[in-house]
A and B are shown apart, each in its own frame.
Chain A
């Protein structure tokens, strides 16, 4: 299993190269990969169908209990077969659909990447790896939706899908970690046995909320459904594969996977049934409001996903049975219909239901596929969809306080499905018309074979449900219920209530189809309602974020040096005051006043010199005077260093001060008059800030000097500088011996500054250059 995933990733990134070498034949290796994984999974299936759970462990981060753990049971097998089987067909179809596209190699890269990630998601046996693969599917979905990156709508839709599912992914990560904490393990097989512990744990509710957020965003449940119809901007193979058959079912997969761990509580049941129910009805309702083939399919997909979530919420054995059967049936017919819609779009250049008519003559094979899939979708007798529909009705009519509501939901969506199926297969292809929609090119085998194969699968599974399908679905349901299932799937159950309801559904669906135009005419009346819809809310939030971010950046990065410095100094002052305020040391000046008596005359002179120099500095209007005053202050500091035993520092200070004055005079003598740019209103504020800053610094020094300094370094250097480094001037020894590398760094800094200065002086700007 690990090899399969690895091969997928490798081949994905080889795709652009292969496209360059093989041209259009790149589709051969790309289709062979999912096909061989499909066959490999089939060889594993006898063991799984016999009740085994296959595991495979590769250490990844064992210290964190995160491992590359693969796990194959009925549910994983069902999904994995769906992903690879459908994947094979999609790879072929994409080769035909994007034939001659210059970026076909890139498309295959994204598509294979997605397929592998999805496969990893359903095979992962560690909840952390589930999350990693989950995010990978979101990212590859983003790349695929935005494949036509030159279209703005494409890019926006891709970003929307990424933001919505990415937010969900974040919630999912939190949920999975909480789940791991509650269950004491990140390994799926261990968690599956600790359902009771998890459900009674204090973290159960937060974990549940976060996990449901992740699953609902991914599976486009209300109120996060809005990204899915927009995702139809993707090329049709992507819509068929990601946004109807596989990726959007990842949320459903997660819910199903975690049913034994999290399921069965009231919170779980009611939330799933409510959200699923609302989504089902909403999706069905919105499907009748559109004329774009792909939009209609997208909304019915939302509705079907809602049904799957509802069934998972009910959680009884018949509901789980209905869930897995409907999942397979839906993947088969919805995938086919998407591919058919892609064919129609490709051949005629339009997806508008009202303009398409009478295509059965010119697109015979596609028409057959559409008919087969449509009948499965409508739940007509020999098709697999019929079995699915029957089971849905039976499951929702089970004893439960909400049986009528649940039934109404599935009945309503069933009715719309019938109407959509008639419109899409009969209306587009078989309805007699005097002027069939003209084709731009004839139907191509690569485009009609995959849907025909998929649609026939729906028919074969319907006619022979006992062969392979039943045992597989049984094991899948067992994975969710934890108990072995023994249901048999059969086309004919006798004249039951469900059969009667099925017939009624078809009849009413036909009525809906007949009056679809009138329903469409109501569409505009809902426009005002959409203003309050989640899609609009998303737009507003996004816009708000952008405006807010711009405002904040403009405020804190306003380009005025002063405001930055004010912010820094204010923060520093506040921190110091905060630290000293509560429990900090108190200043005791009283017993140190005697130190004043040690003051010597020349020291007093020095101090007076500094202070008076500063006063002159503020009064001075001349640049030259200011420079001279700076010199005085600098020399005073040098004298101080001499007085307190630092001759080297003093020498350096004298030298540097002199150099600075010289440079100042040399360079700045040509500047304009020394204008005083006043800022009268703010001046008092700045004076206050400066004084506070100075006072705080003084206070800090006084406080620090209250305590003795016990420097081991001083003693160490005093002992060793002659004996180890053979130097008598300790400061020099430190600089050139003990800390020589620091000095080297200092020299480098100076060199860099010198290079910068050289560059600025040599730079001669041409006229018209931008400064």
Chain B
């Protein structure tokens, strides 16, 4: 599993980046969600995997006994997942508003505010 997971993460990264590079707003969101997922897994795997043993101290012990999973990446992941959810829901609502206001879901139609007027 330790050897296979990196490849799975790579595949997830590839797929999500390809989705992000689409012109369709909806695909962009899918890509973002997948990208967040891949990043979380990336962190998790980089922090080493421990089969079994959760990061929980047994009732009759005062300190954790090996093997137990590293709690630091897990704490990071929890935060990352929740924040990622905040971003996702914001983006989902944003796409709806954008569609209501502009009548399009094509990203290339939404590049005007940023563009410098070249002919003045």
Contacts and interface: CB of A to CB of B under 8 A. Distances in A.
Interface in A592-624: 592-593, 595-596, 598-600, 603, 607, 610-611, 614, 617-618, 623
Interface of A: 550, 553-554, 557-562, 565-566, 569, 589, 592-593, 595-596, 598-600, 603, 607, 610-611, 614, 617-618, 623, 626, 630, 633-634, 637, 640-641, 643-649, 652-653, 656, 659-660, 663-664, 667-668, 670-672, 674-677, 679, 686-687, 689-691, 693-695, 697-698, 701-702, 704-705, 709, 711, 713-714, 717-719, 721-723, 728-731, 734-735, 739, 742-743, 746, 749-750, 752-754, 756-757, 760-761, 763, 765, 771
A429 to B, nearest CB: 50
Contact of A646 (B6, B59, B77, B101): B77
B89 A660 contact: yes
A607 B4 contact: yes
B6 A702 contact: yes
Contact of B105 (A607, A667, A671): A671
Interface in B11-30: 11-15, 17-18, 20-24, 26, 28, 30
Nearest to B46: A704
B30 A630 contact: yes
B21 A690 contact: yes
A623 B26 contact: yes
Contacts of A694: 10-15, 17
Contact of A656 (B11, B48, B85, B118): B85
B2 A705 contact: yes
A697 B10 CA distance: 6
List the 10 closest pairs (A to B, CB-CB), nearest first.
A559-B111, A694-B14, A698-B10, A645-B69, A718-B64, A559-B114, A753-B86, A771-B101, A694-B10, A701-B6
Contact of B20 (A565, A674, A701): A565
A677 B54 contact: no
A757 B33 CA distance: 18
Contacts of A593: 3
A569 B62 CA distance: 46
A558 B23 contact: no
A686 B75 contact: no
Contacts of B45: 701, 705
Contacts of A561: 28, 107, 111
Contacts of B41: 637, 640
6 contacts: A610-B11, A659-B89, A663-B89, A671-B26, A730-B55, A746-B82
A634 B14 contact: no
A765 B75 contact: no
A760 B99 CA distance: 12
B82 A645 contact: no
Contacts of B97: 760, 763
Interface in B25-43: 26, 28, 30, 33-34, 37-38, 40-42
A750 B86 contact: yes
A349 B113 CA distance: 48
A746 B61 CA distance: 32
- Give the dominant DSSP class at B's interface: helix
B114 A557 contact: yes
A677 B24 contact: yes
Contacts of A761: 93
A717 to B, nearest CB: 5
Contacts of A633: 12, 34, 37
Contacts of A589: 3
Nearest to B10: A698
Contacts of A686: 18, 21
B120 to A, nearest CB: 10
Contacts of A663: 88-89, 92
Contacts of B57: 718, 721-722, 728-730
B92 A714 contact: no
Contact of A697 (B13, B26, B44, B56): B13
A593 B3 CA distance: 8
Contacts of A672: 99, 105
Given A562-B23, A671-B99, A749 B83 contact: yes
A393 B87 CA distance: 81
Given A614-B11, A637-B40, A697-B42, A731 B74 contact: yes
A699 B51 CA distance: 23
A473 to B, nearest CB: 57
Interface string B60-73: 01111000111110
A554 B10 contact: no
A686 B57 CA distance: 47
Contact of B6 (A553, A614, A698): A698
A370 B106 CA distance: 74
Given A607-B4, A644-B51, A756-B93, 15 more contacts: A562-B23, A593-B3, A596-B3, A598-B2, A603-B1, A626-B26, A656-B84, A676-B24, A697-B9, A697-B38, A711-B70, A714-B71, A718-B71, A722-B61, A753-B89
A618 to B, nearest CB: 7
Contacts of A739: 75
Contacts of B87: 753
A749 B87 CA distance: 9
B3 A592 contact: yes
Given A660-B88, A693-B13, A704-B46, A553 B116 contact: yes
Contact of B72 (A645, A698, A711): A711
Given A672-B105, A693-B14, A649 B81 contact: yes
Contacts of A637: 37, 40-41
A637 B81 CA distance: 12
Contact of B24 (A675, A713, A723, A760): A675
A656 B81 contact: yes
A646 B58 CA distance: 15
A740 B76 CA distance: 12
Contacts of B34: 630, 633
B51 A643 contact: yes
A729 B44 CA distance: 18
A646 B62 contact: no
Given A652-B78, A686-B18, A559 B68 contact: no
A623 B72 CA distance: 37
B88 to A, nearest CB: 6
A718 B92 contact: no
Task: Among A561, A671, A731, A765, find the residue whose CB has the most chain B CB atoms closer than 10 A.
Answer: A731
Nearest to A645: B69
